[in-house]
């Protein structure tokens, strides 16, 4: 098994690869720096980025290799992933929205991959190296073992404090009707369902807190929470969504990624499709 | 492992490497790509509001929908029976819908401008170094890694780490609320967080003085400013008690109207009146039951109240907040500038020779006297030397038109001016800046060939720099342990009296050593004169007071004592951090807390905890970082003089004079408005009965139609509005601030309002209207059983009598309802001028309906002979006497519920 980081020479992809490196180091996986040659990315920049990551990998004692592929990026990557045993593919995303062009990220998430995918939104250049607080947002108690493992890998990598922020979505009218006993029961149920993760975190020596919110708009609530606390990294889960569905379905994650004030990793589990 | 230090802890080389840039700046290719990666430097709005949709949504409200259906039915009825005048009715109903929708939308629109104010703090252009060239670019094009050049007066467009600095001072008030200029340095200092790092600059702040070069580390929402923007736009306000009550009344009235309409529609069909007639009948009853004038009257009444409050220095931005003020149970107030004058004043001096001096005169411009204890011949010279040292070591200035600078320095300048000391024109060589670590500052001057250094600072910091002091005989004596103890003791005496104490010294070299102590200065920000009385009023009115200040606990406690503010517990910011949300809630439930050494960001937590305890919270604030708490509080109160635009936009109320006493005045006005609204809800409800009763009677009895639908609307949207507004502008009743705050559970439409409005006053009015109608018909030869009158004029005249019966009773009703329990004869008939004008207007309205053909045509009225008007006379008198008796009985019974 190996961890793959897609590198395109941009500073954000370099930082995404640094996250990949940390993840690989925790699991003892080798890291593959992958680039598919194309007209947009300058090879000089790509090589320079790879140099930086290799230097960091050497310090972390992680075996690192370069892989240059040719052809249509999405096809080349899919083929590579199909032919090799890859644990997670890390790729960065750009904040800039191109109307008539589908980014590699969107092409990647449009169909389930035979591997986990971590899409990294970098908004702070400094936060890839310094992470003391990590938050993972979930909807109610919906947390897969896979996502939890991904989350704890970063907690261990950075020796960071961690928090699971569970948001229960409820419409404004019901929210107004919620009383204390009702809320208590609701949160108790969620806590009960998450209790084995708390035990697991304790077993792994990871300081984990669970916080709850009941809100009528989950993205506003998460942004508010982020603004109010000093997290350096957020991990959120999402599901694979074909391009066509994306046109018609509400995509709160896109708004979250547009407005997030901290670096964010969106995790797509391989068997979530 | 890569460098795991925080970005502001990196040296220049590591920083450049981390940001992948150079001191010469980025190249065009890098800029293009980073712009794509990080996006433009614009604060992302979480939700872009579509104002057109928001406006259209007003027509989708419960009340509006009901009236729209009614208008639709009226149009359909007009189609089948074009001569009934139902088209006019339909247009009139639609007009009522448009007025209400527009009012409501306008209020929403006004409260939605916080982001615009935030964006005002971002500059349009910014100077950067790119490819070794200095260029001015649109701030939206700034990207991480850019080399940003800062000059005096610049607004900072992004967060960055300084790599060059030249006496740079920033105004960080937009982030920290602290208005004193913050010095910047190339070293971060002992900082764990970016905001504490002295080598960082932040978006949304301004350069007060000096210059610097910074490497951009974060743009747009990733900046500290972006976080605040995000906090501000994502804090959601709870629905106000007034909104809740209006929704409740609307629902009750609508359900009532629909139920009665449906029942009579069914009865109409059952008795064979036909689909069209039954529909028109049901529609008439619906329109009669819906108080169309209620929402516009409430909106107008609140608007008038806000104008009255503006005259009393409280500018209301969100109209619904007027009423919320009446429910306020806790006021969380700042100290500086709100409870105190925000003008530091030197009240005491202590010369190193041992003299104590009291200084009179408050503020920066007042003159004052120096009263000296143990004066000798050198005292005056040493005093003047002390004051001159303070004056020469200041950046602040007081001139004819403006006052600029740090309040402490302004106090020193004001003290020197009281002694008529003017700063000599000496060459300023150097300034050792004040920092929170150094806690002192000094300025070096050259006078002829001599070097003079003047220093001021905290006693414990400056004293070790002193080796001597001016003794009583003006000789320089060595500072011994005993004399140092004497200085410290004197400082303690001052500090125990809540004074901020500064030591002042001078030297004869550029070094901050071997200084000569001149004395101590005791400075205080005195409470405003009106505050003590306002605090006492709050106590009587059952309102809890909590002071939240950044000052030290000792000063906070001293000011609380001065103004008579009682508290059970003193909590500092650090202690608050240690409390869990649950513990904080519990503490605030039982105890009045004085919060000292607080950061502005902690206000939001306090507001939330209090609200979770069921309190209605009024919160004051002035900085940008107060905005979330101001939005969260039930009543956010911004300071008009010292507040930032963002705080003002986020607040519901702006205090034009920054004075705490104005909050209490506003609360008094808010309570008055609540009780006045209750009065005019009763007033409006009581006119519903004479509108409904004629229809019900006409259904069951064999009589002609006593009142047309358009006449109902003429009451609801015509004759009732002005008197209703006049009731809304009644002055506060004498005991308004002796009552407890209006409870969350108290309803505008309670049993008393319903009973008095519908069952007592309304029944009298209904009887009046029907008696007027039937008596008039009877006098003019009508026989019971004639449903259709042969003479249409007679029918119109009879309907006019019904209308007059209702309107004349309402005219009396408005007088008696001026007080809920007290006699109208004690209030004086001329004390509410708006009411006099409203009555005059209503009489004019009656005259128009009786005499102007065009008006008669619209409202189905006709002239009535004066000799017939005697029929109307008994009922207003009956209503007046009946209601006065009712109130007398309530007073006599000593009912607990004597409000309003």
CATH of the domain at A79: 3.40.50.620
Taking an 8 Å cut-off on Cβ atoms, the answer to whether B1 and A230 are in contact is no
**pLDDT at residue B94, as a whole number:** 83
- What is the complex's ipTM, to 2 decimals? 0.78
Taking an 8 Å cut-off on Cβ atoms, the answer to whether A259 and B217 are in contact is no
Taking an 8 Å cut-off on Cβ atoms, the answer to whether B37 and A12 are in contact is yes
Contact between residue B389 and residue B454 where contact means Cβ atoms under 8 Å apart: yes
Instruction: Note whether A109 and A159 are same-domain residues.
Output: no
Element of type H or E holding B48: none
pLDDT at A91 over 60: yes
Instruction: Note whether A99 and A158 are same-domain residues.
Output: no
Of A132-136, B226-230, B626-630, least confident by mean pLDDT is B226-230
For residue B286, tell me if it sits in a domain.
Answer: no
Taking an 8 Å cut-off on Cβ atoms, the answer to whether A125 and B218 are in contact is yes
Taking an 8 Å cut-off on Cβ atoms, the answer to whether B235 and A224 are in contact is yes
- Residue bearing the bigger pLDDT, B350 or B292: B350
Taking an 8 Å cut-off on Cβ atoms, the answer to whether A130 and B218 are in contact is no
- B477 conformational bin, left if phi > 0, alpha if psi -120 to 50, beta if neither: beta
Taking an 8 Å cut-off on Cβ atoms, the answer to whether B222 and A123 are in contact is yes
CA-based nearest residue in chain A for residue B42: A259
Contact map slice: B 187-216 vs A, CB within 8 A: 193
B444-501 pLDDT, tens digit each: 999 888 899 999 998 999 999 999 999 988 899 999 999 999 999 999 998 888 788 9
Instruction: Note whether A144 and A42 are same-domain residues.
Output: no
Half-sphere exposure of B471 (CA within 13 A, CB side): 10
**pLDDT at residue A214, as a whole number:** 84
Element of type H or E holding B731: none
Phi, psi of B121 (to 5 degrees): -80, -10
pLDDT class for B674, splitting at 50, 70, 90? confident
Tell which of B628, B658, B688 closes a domain.
B658
Q: Report the CATH number at residue B799.
A: 1.20.1110.10
Percent of chain B clearing pLDDT 90 (strictly above): 21
Highest mean pLDDT: which range of B350-359, B361-370, B855-864:
B350-359
Element of type H or E holding B447: strand B440-447
**pLDDT at residue B886, as a whole number:** 92
Of B2, B34, B226, the CB nearest to A261: B226
DSSP state of B156: P
For residue A238, tell me if it sits in a domain.
Answer: no
pLDDT at B344 over 90: no
Tell which of A214, A231, A248 closes a domain.
A231
Instruction: Note whether B815 and B722 are same-domain residues.
Output: yes
- Residue bearing the bigger pLDDT, A267 or B400: A267
For residue B167, tell me if it sits in a domain.
Answer: yes
Q: Helices A180-203 and A145-158, interaxial angle, to 10°?
A: 60
Q: Report the CATH number at residue B550.
A: 3.40.50.1000
B89-103 pLDDT, tens digit each: 678 778 878 877 786
**pLDDT at residue A247, as a whole number:** 46
For residue B426, tell me if it sits in a domain.
Answer: yes
A237-260 pLDDT, tens digit each: 887 655 555 444 456 788 788 888
Instruction: Note whether B583 and B480 are same-domain residues.
Output: no
**pLDDT at residue B899, as a whole number:** 44
Q: In angstroms, what separates the C-alpha of B3 from chain A's closest C-alpha?
A: 6
Q: Spell out which residues of chain B touch residue A11, defining contact as CB-CB under 8 Å.
A: 20, 34, 37, 144-145
Q: Flag whether residue B38 sits within 8 Å of chain A, measured between CB atoms.
A: yes
What SS3 state is found at B419?
coil
Q: Spell out which residues of chain B touch residue A223, defining contact as CB-CB under 8 Å.
A: 46, 230, 234
Instruction: Note whether B788 and B678 are same-domain residues.
Output: yes
Contact between residue B146 and residue B130 where contact means Cβ atoms under 8 Å apart: yes
Tell which of B217, B232, B247 closes a domain.
B232
Taking an 8 Å cut-off on Cβ atoms, the answer to whether B18 and A126 are in contact is yes
Range of the domain at A198: 131-231
- Residue bearing the bigger pLDDT, A251 or B54: B54
For residue B736, tell me if it sits in a domain.
Answer: yes
Instruction: Note whether B628 and B733 are same-domain residues.
Output: no
pLDDT class for A50, splitting at 50, 70, 90? very high
Range of the domain at B458: 342-526
Q: Flag whether residue A12 sits within 8 Å of chain B, measured between CB atoms.
A: yes
Tokens representing A13?
């992809």
Tell which of B503, B526, B549 closes a domain.
B526
Contact between residue B506 and residue B516 where contact means Cβ atoms under 8 Å apart: yes
Active site residue B334: yes
For residue A203, tell me if it sits in a domain.
Answer: yes
Instruction: Note whether A141 and A69 are same-domain residues.
Output: no
**pLDDT at residue A5, as a whole number:** 94
What is the rounded distance in angstroms from the CA atom of residue B463 to the CA atom of residue B364? 28
Instruction: Note whether B379 and B516 are same-domain residues.
Output: yes
pLDDT at A187 over 80: yes
Taking an 8 Å cut-off on Cβ atoms, the answer to whether A227 and B222 are in contact is no
A98-130 pLDDT, tens digit each: 655 667 777 888 778 888 999 999 988 877 777
Of A128, A230, A261, the CB nearest to B222: A261
Q: What is the mean pLDDT of residues B336-364?
A: 86
Percent of chain A clearing pLDDT 90 (strictly above): 31
B203-215 pLDDT, tens digit each: 888 887 778 899 9
Q: In angstroms, what separates the C-alpha of A232 from chain B's closest C-alpha?
A: 11
Instruction: Note whether B16 and B163 are same-domain residues.
Output: yes
Instruction: Note whether A139 and A209 are same-domain residues.
Output: yes
Q: What pTM does this model have?
A: 0.59
For residue A258, tell me if it sits in a domain.
Answer: no
Instruction: Note whether B477 and B491 are same-domain residues.
Output: yes
Q: Report the CATH number at residue B157.
A: 2.70.150.10
Of A210-224, B513-527, B535-549, B569-583, least confident by mean pLDDT is A210-224
Q: Report the CATH number at residue B508.
A: 3.40.1110.10
Contact between residue B715 and residue B684 where contact means Cβ atoms under 8 Å apart: no
For residue B72, tell me if it sits in a domain.
Answer: no
Instruction: Note whether A62 and A170 are same-domain residues.
Output: no
Q: What is the DSSP string of B377-429?
A: TTHHHHHHHHHHHHHHT---EE-SS-EES-HHHHHHHHHHHHTT------EEE
pLDDT at B894 over 70: no
pLDDT at B745 over 90: no
- A168 Cβ contact list (under 8 Å, min separation 6): A139, A140, A186, A187, A190, A212, A213, A214, A215
B66-87 pLDDT, tens digit each: 778 778 877 876 777 676 666 7
CA-based nearest residue in chain A for residue B14: A126
For residue A267, tell me if it sits in a domain.
Answer: no
Residues in chain A: 273
Tell which of A125, A147, A169 closes a domain.
A125
Of A95, A226, A230, the CB nearest to B38: A95
Q: In angstroms, what separates the C-alpha of A83 from chain B's closest C-alpha?
A: 30
For residue A237, tell me if it sits in a domain.
Answer: no
Phi, psi of B614 (to 5 degrees): 90, 10
Instruction: Note whether A102 and A205 are same-domain residues.
Output: no
Q: Flag whether residue A230 sits within 8 Å of chain B, measured between CB atoms.
A: yes
Q: Flag whether residue B621 sits within 8 Å of chain A, measured between CB atoms.
A: no
Instruction: Note whether A117 and A136 are same-domain residues.
Output: no
Instruction: Note whether B513 and B571 are same-domain residues.
Output: no
For residue B1, tell me if it sits in a domain.
Answer: no
Contact map slice: B 145-174 vs A, CB within 8 A: 145
Percent of chain A clearing pLDDT 70 (strictly above): 88
Instruction: Note whether A147 and A205 are same-domain residues.
Output: yes
**pLDDT at residue B274, as a whole number:** 77
Of A162-171, B290-299, B767-776, least confident by mean pLDDT is B290-299
Taking an 8 Å cut-off on Cβ atoms, the answer to whether A262 and B37 are in contact is no
Q: Flag whether residue A6 sits within 8 Å of chain B, measured between CB atoms.
A: no
B780-828 pLDDT, tens digit each: 888 887 777 778 889 899 999 999 999 999 999 999 998 888 888 888 7
Of A94, A128, A261, the CB nearest to B227: A261
Contact between residue A73 and residue A104 where contact means Cβ atoms under 8 Å apart: yes
Output the average pLDDT for chain B: 83
Instruction: Note whether B514 and B618 are same-domain residues.
Output: no
Instruction: Note whether A10 and A121 are same-domain residues.
Output: yes
pLDDT at B111 over 50: no
Total structural domains within chain A: 2
For residue A271, tell me if it sits in a domain.
Answer: no
Total structural domains within chain B: 4
What SS3 state is found at B526?
strand
For residue B744, tell me if it sits in a domain.
Answer: yes
**pLDDT at residue A177, as a whole number:** 64
What is the rounded distance in angstroms from the CA atom of residue B221 to the CA atom of residue B41? 8
What is the rounded distance in angstroms from the CA atom of residue B511 to the CA atom of residue A191? 63
pLDDT at B196 over 90: no
Instruction: Note whether B605 and B737 are same-domain residues.
Output: no
pLDDT at B320 over 90: no
Instruction: Note whether B146 and B206 are same-domain residues.
Output: yes
Q: Flag whether residue A126 sits within 8 Å of chain B, measured between CB atoms.
A: yes
For residue A210, tell me if it sits in a domain.
Answer: yes
- Residue bearing the bigger pLDDT, B567 or B47: B567
Instruction: Note whether A102 and A179 are same-domain residues.
Output: no
For residue B116, tell me if it sits in a domain.
Answer: no
Of A59, A224, A255, the CB nearest to B1: A59
* Preferred mutation among B222, B227, B603, B604 to probe A, highest tally of A CBs within 10 A: B222
**pLDDT at residue A32, as a whole number:** 94
pLDDT class for A16, splitting at 50, 70, 90? very high
Q: In angstroms, what separates the C-alpha of B247 from chain A's closest C-alpha?
A: 13
Q: Flag whether residue A223 sits within 8 Å of chain B, measured between CB atoms.
A: yes
B515-549 pLDDT, tens digit each: 999 999 999 888 888 889 889 988 888 899 999 98
**pLDDT at residue B46, as a whole number:** 43
**pLDDT at residue B436, as a whole number:** 60
C-alpha angle with apex A231: A230 to A235, nearest 5 degrees?
A: 160
B683-742 pLDDT, tens digit each: 988 988 998 888 888 888 888 888 887 788 778 767 887 888 888 878 887 778 887 887
pLDDT class for B257, splitting at 50, 70, 90? confident
State the catalytic residue, choosing from B146, B334, B716, B868: B334
Q: In angstroms, what separates the C-alpha of B183 from chain A's closest C-alpha?
A: 24
Output the average pLDDT for chain A: 84
Contact between residue B177 and residue B638 where contact means Cβ atoms under 8 Å apart: no
pLDDT class for B898, splitting at 50, 70, 90? very low
Instruction: Note whether B375 and B470 are same-domain residues.
Output: yes
Alpha helices in B498-615 (DSSP H): 531-540, 553-563, 573-578, 581-590, 603-612
Instruction: Note whether A22 and A102 are same-domain residues.
Output: yes
Residues in chain B: 900
Percent of chain B clearing pLDDT 70 (strictly above): 88
pLDDT class for B30, splitting at 50, 70, 90? confident
Q: What is the mean pLDDT of residues B222-239?
A: 65
The partner residues of B468 in beta bridges, in order of sequence, read: B478, B516
**pLDDT at residue B737, as a whole number:** 83
């Amino acid at each position: 098994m190996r961890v793959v980081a897609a590198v395109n020479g941009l500073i954000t992809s370099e930082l995404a690869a640094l996250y990949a490196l940390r993840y690989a180091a925790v699991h003892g996986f080798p890291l593959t720096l992958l680039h598919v040659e194309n007209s947009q990315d300058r090879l000089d920049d790509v090589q320079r980025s790879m140099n930086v990551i290799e230097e960091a990998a050497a310090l972390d004692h992680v075996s690192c290799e370069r892989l240059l592929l040719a052809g249509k990026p999405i096809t080349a990557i899919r083929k590579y992933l199909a032919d090799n045993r890859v644990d997670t593919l890390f790729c960065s995303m750009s904040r800039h929205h191109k109307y008539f062009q589908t980014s590699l990220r969107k092409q990647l998430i449009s169909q389930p991959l035979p591997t986990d995918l971590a899409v990294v939104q970098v908004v702070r250049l400094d936060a890839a190296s310094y992470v003391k607080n990590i938050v993972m947002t979930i909807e109610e108690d919906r947390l897969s073992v896979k996502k939890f493992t991904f989350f704890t890998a970063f907690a261990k990598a950075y020796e960071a404090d961690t928090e699971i922020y569970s948001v229960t979505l409820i419409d404004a009218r019901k929210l107004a009707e919620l009383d204390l006993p009702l809320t208590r029961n609701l949160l108790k149920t969620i806590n009960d369902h998450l209790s084995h993760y708390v035990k697991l975190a304790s077993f792994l020596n990871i300081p984990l807190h669970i916080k709850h919110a009941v809100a009528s708009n989950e993205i506003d609530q998460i942004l508010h929470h982020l603004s109010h606390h000093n997290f350096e990294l957020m991990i959120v889960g999402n599901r694979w969504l074909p391009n066509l569905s994306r046109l018609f379905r509400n995509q709160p994650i896109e708004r979250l990624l547009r407005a997030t004030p901290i670096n964010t990793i969106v995790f797509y589990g391989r068997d979530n499709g | 492992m890569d460098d795991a230090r925080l970005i502001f802890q990196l040296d220049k080389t590591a920083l450049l490497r981390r940001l992948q840039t150079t001191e010469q700046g980025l190249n065009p290719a890098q800029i293009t790509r980073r712009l794509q990666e990080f996006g433009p430097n614009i604060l992302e709005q979480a939700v872009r509001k579509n104002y057109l949709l928001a406006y259209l949504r007003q027509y989708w409200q419960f009340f509006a929908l009901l009236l729209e259906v009614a208008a639709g039915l009226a149009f359909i009825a007009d189609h089948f029976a074009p001569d009934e005048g139902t088209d006019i009715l339909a247009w009139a109903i639609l007009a009522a819908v448009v007025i209400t929708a527009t009012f409501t939308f306008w209020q929403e629109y006004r409260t939605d401008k916080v982001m615009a104010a935030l964006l005002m703090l971002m500059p349009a252009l910014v100077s950067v170094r790119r490819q070794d060239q200095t260029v001015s670019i649109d701030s939206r094009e700034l990207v991480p890694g850019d080399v940003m050049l800062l000059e005096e007066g610049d607004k900072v467009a992004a967060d960055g780490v300084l790599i060059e600095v030249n006496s740079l001072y920033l105004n960080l008030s937009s982030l920290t609320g602290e208005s004193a200029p913050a010095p910047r340095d190339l070293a971060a200092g002992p900082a764990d967080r970016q905001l504490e790092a002295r080598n960082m600059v932040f978006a949304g702040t301004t350069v007060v003085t000096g210059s610097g070069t910074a490497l951009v580390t974060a743009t747009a929402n990733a900046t500290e400013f972006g976080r605040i923007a995000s906090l501000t736009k994502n804090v959601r306000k709870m629905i106000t008690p007034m909104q809740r009550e209006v929704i409740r009344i609307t629902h009750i009235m609508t359900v009532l109207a629909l139920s009665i309409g449906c029942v009579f529609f069914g009865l109409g069909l059952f008795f064979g009146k036909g689909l069209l007639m039954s529909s028109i009948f049901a529609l008439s009853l619906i329109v009669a039951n819906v108080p169309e004038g209620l929402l516009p009257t409430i909106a107008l009444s609140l608007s008038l109240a806000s104008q009255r409050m503006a005259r009393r220095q409280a500018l209301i931005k969100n109209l619904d907040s007027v009423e919320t003020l009446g429910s306020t149970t806790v006021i969380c107030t700042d100290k500086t500038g709100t409870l105190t004058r925000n003008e530091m004043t030197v009240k005491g001096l202590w010369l190193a020779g041992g003299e104590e001096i009291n200084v009179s005169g408050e503020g920066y411009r007042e003159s004052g006297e120096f009263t000296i204890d143990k004066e000798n011949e050198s005292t005056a010279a040493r005093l003047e030397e002390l004051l001159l040292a303070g004056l020469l070591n200041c950046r602040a200035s007081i001139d004819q038109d403006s006052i600029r600078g740090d309040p402490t320095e302004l106090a020193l300048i004001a003290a020197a001016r009281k002694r008529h000391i003017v700063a000599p024109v000496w060459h300023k060589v150097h300034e050792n800046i004040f920092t929170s670590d150094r806690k002192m500052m000094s300025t070096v001057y050259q006078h002829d060939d001599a070097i003079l250094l003047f220093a001021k600072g905290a006693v414990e910091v400056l004293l070790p720099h002193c080796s001597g002091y001016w003794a009583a005989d003006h000789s320089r004596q060595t500072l011994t342990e005993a004399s140092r103890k004497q200085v410290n003791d004197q400082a303690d005496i001052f500090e125990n009296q809540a004074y901020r104490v500064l030591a002042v010294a001078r030297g004869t070299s550029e070094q901050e050593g071997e200084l000569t102590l001149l004395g101590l200065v005791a400075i205080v920000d005195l409470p405003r004169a009106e505050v003590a009385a306002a605090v006492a009023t709050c106590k009587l009115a059952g309102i809890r007071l909590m002071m939240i200040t950044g000052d030290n606990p000792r000063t906070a406690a001293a000011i609380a004592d001065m103004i008579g503010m009682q508290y059970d517990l003193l909590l500092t910011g650090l202690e608050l951090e240690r409390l869990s949300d649950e513990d904080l809630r519990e503490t605030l439930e039982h105890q009045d807390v004085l919060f000292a050494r607080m950061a502005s960001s902690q206000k939001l937590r306090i507001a939330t905890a209090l609200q979770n305890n069921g309190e209605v919270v009024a919160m004051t604030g002035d900085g940008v970082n107060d905005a979330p708490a101001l939005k969260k509080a039930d009543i956010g109160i911004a300071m008009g003089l010292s507040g930032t635009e963002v705080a003002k936009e986020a607040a519901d109320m702006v205090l034009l004079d920054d004075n705490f006493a104005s909050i209490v005045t506003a609360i008094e006005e808010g309570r008055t408005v609540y009780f006045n609204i209750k009065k005019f809800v009763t007033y409006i409800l009581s006119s519903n009965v004479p509108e409904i009763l004629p229809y019900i009677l006409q259904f069951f009895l064999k009589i002609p139609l006593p009142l047309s639908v358009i006449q109902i609307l003429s009451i609801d949207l015509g004759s009732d509005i002005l008197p209703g507004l006049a009731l809304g502008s009644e002055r506060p009743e004498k005991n308004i601030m002796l009552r407890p705050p209006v409870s969350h559970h108290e309803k505008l439409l309670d049993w008393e309002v319903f009973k008095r409005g519908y069952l007592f006053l309304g029944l009298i009015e209904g009887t009046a209207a029907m008696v007027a109608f039937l008596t008039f018909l009877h006098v003019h030869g009508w026989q019971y059983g004639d449903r259709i009158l042969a003479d249409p004029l007679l029918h119109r005249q009879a309907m006019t009598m019904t209308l007059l019966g209702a309107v004349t009773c309402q005219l009396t009703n408005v007088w008696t309802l001026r007080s809920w329990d007290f006699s109208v004869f004690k209030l004086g008939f001329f004390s509410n001028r708006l009411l006099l004008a409203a009555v005059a207007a209503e009489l004019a309205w009656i005259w128009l309906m009786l005499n102007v053909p065009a008006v008669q045509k619209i409202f189905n009225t006709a002239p009535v002979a004066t000799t017939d008007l005697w029929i109307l006379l008994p009922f207003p008198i009956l209503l007046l006497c009946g209601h006065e008796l009712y109130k007398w009985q309530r007073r006599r019974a000593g009912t607990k519920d004597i409000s309003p």
